[in-house]
């Protein structure tokens, strides 16, 4: 190996290590430090600084970065949710989005709902900065959206009042006892025939991807692994009853979209 190649390898290695260190620091690392402090658990203790600090939000929220984090499946997953919304007649009905997310999912979902004559879209997040940031991506569509700071486990929507609820990669970040609570709330606010559209990680089919994914979760997002088995959202919804559910998996089983229709 000549010296040019050797230096390139070193540079690529250093970039990868510093990127991993950066993400660890603004996600799990910060939670570990937070956990060392004394005091009672607060409602937003599980939320990474990357979702609460506006400078970090703006630094990270670029479509190529976000797509890469989801192994370039982001567009497919969002497109599936958008396609489901586009099949609904939303005239005079309301749609809920339970938590903001990076990338273009919020503008695409709101755009799809508006194209189906939605009455209002309700965008709910625990963190105010996330709502401010989401609004900045919506342009004129923001006029159709009610932004509300609230907890996914204790929502303000009336029972049976929503035609659809989009939950995009929220569950894997919630403490285990809150995962079921968030699903219960989603179920409560759906009208009969209403759809919960949920995108999440899933246990990969191939052992290579499973090993890679397991390592990723153990290091960065340990609350996500339970979705593979003990806190499978599909099983939770089936146990809750009153839903007919379908699950589609993507990229060798690494991701899932659940469509749960309230009976
Ligand atoms: C849905 S996840 C998005 C993760 C995903 N990696 C992405 O951006 O594509 C993160 C969002 O969930 C929000 N959040 C976390 N816990 C919440 C809760 N209990 N209720 C409502 N929003 C919550 C965070 O504030 C953040 O905006």
Return phi, psi of residue 96, to 5°: -110, 140
Q: Give CA 212 to chain center in angstroms.
A: 20
For residue 90, what pLDDT is reported? 97
236 pocket-lining for ligand 1 (C-beta < 6 Å): no
Ligand 1 nearest-atom number relative to CA 66: 9
Name the residue of 106, 168, 173 whose CB sits within 8 Å of the most ligand 1 atoms, as the mutation to test its pocket.
Answer: 173
Q: Which residue has tokens 């965008």? A: 123
125 pocket-lining for ligand 1 (C-beta < 6 Å): yes
Contacts of 80 (CB under 8 A, 6+ apart): 199, 248, 257
- Please give the Cα distance from 263 to 259 (Å, whole number): 13
pLDDT averaged over consecutive 10-residue blocks of the chain (263 residues)? Answer: 84 86 80 76 83 93 95 98 97 98 98 98 97 98 98 97 98 96 97 98 96 94 95 97 97 98 97
3-state secondary structure of 231: coil
126 pocket-lining for ligand 1 (C-beta < 6 Å): yes
Cα distances (angstroms) measured from residue 191 to each of 8, 20, 96, 161, 165: 57, 42, 12, 5, 10
| Closest residue by Cα to residue 85 from 14, 154, 166 | 166
For residue 201, what pLDDT is reported? 98
pLDDT digits (tens, 9 = 90+) for 157-207: 999 999 999 999 999 999 999 999 999 999 999 999 999 999 999 999 999
121 pocket-lining for ligand 1 (C-beta < 6 Å): no
For residue 20, what pLDDT is reported? 84
pLDDT digits (tens, 9 = 90+) for 124-135: 999 999 999 999
Q: How far is the CA of 80 from the centre of ligand 1 (A)?
A: 20
């Amino acid at each position: 190996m000549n010296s040019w190649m050797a230096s390139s390898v070193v540079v690529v290695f250093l970039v990868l290590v510093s990127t991993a260190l950066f993400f660890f620091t603004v996600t799990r690392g910060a939670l570990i430090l937070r956990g060392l402090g004394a005091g009672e658990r607060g409602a937003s203790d599980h939320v990474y600084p990357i979702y609460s600090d506006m400078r970090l939000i703006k630094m990270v929220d670029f479509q190529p970065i976000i797509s890469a984090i989801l192994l370039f499946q982001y567009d497919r997953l969002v497109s599936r949710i958008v396609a489901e919304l586009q099949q609904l007649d939303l005239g005079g009905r309301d749609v809920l989005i339970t938590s903001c997310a990076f990338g273009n999912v919020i503008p695409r979902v709101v755009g799809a709902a508006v194209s189906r004559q939605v009455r209002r879209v309700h965008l709910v997040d625990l963190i105010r900065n996330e709502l401010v940031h989401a609004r900045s991506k919506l342009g004129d569509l923001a006029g159709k959206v009610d932004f509300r700071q609230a907890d996914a486990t204790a929502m303000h929507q009336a029972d049976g009042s929503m035609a659809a609820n989009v939950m995009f990669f929220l569950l894997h970040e919630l403490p285990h006892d809150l995962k079921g609570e968030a699903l219960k709330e989603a179920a409560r606010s759906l009208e009969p025939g209403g759809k919960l559209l949920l995108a999440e990680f899933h246990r990969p089919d191939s052992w290579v991807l499973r090993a890679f994914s397991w390592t990723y979760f153990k290091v960065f997002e340990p609350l996500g692994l339970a979705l593979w088995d003990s806190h499978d959202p599909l099983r939770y919804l089936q146990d809750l009853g009153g839903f007919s559910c379908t699950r589609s998996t993507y990229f060798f089983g690494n991701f899932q979209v659940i469509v749960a229709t309230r009976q």
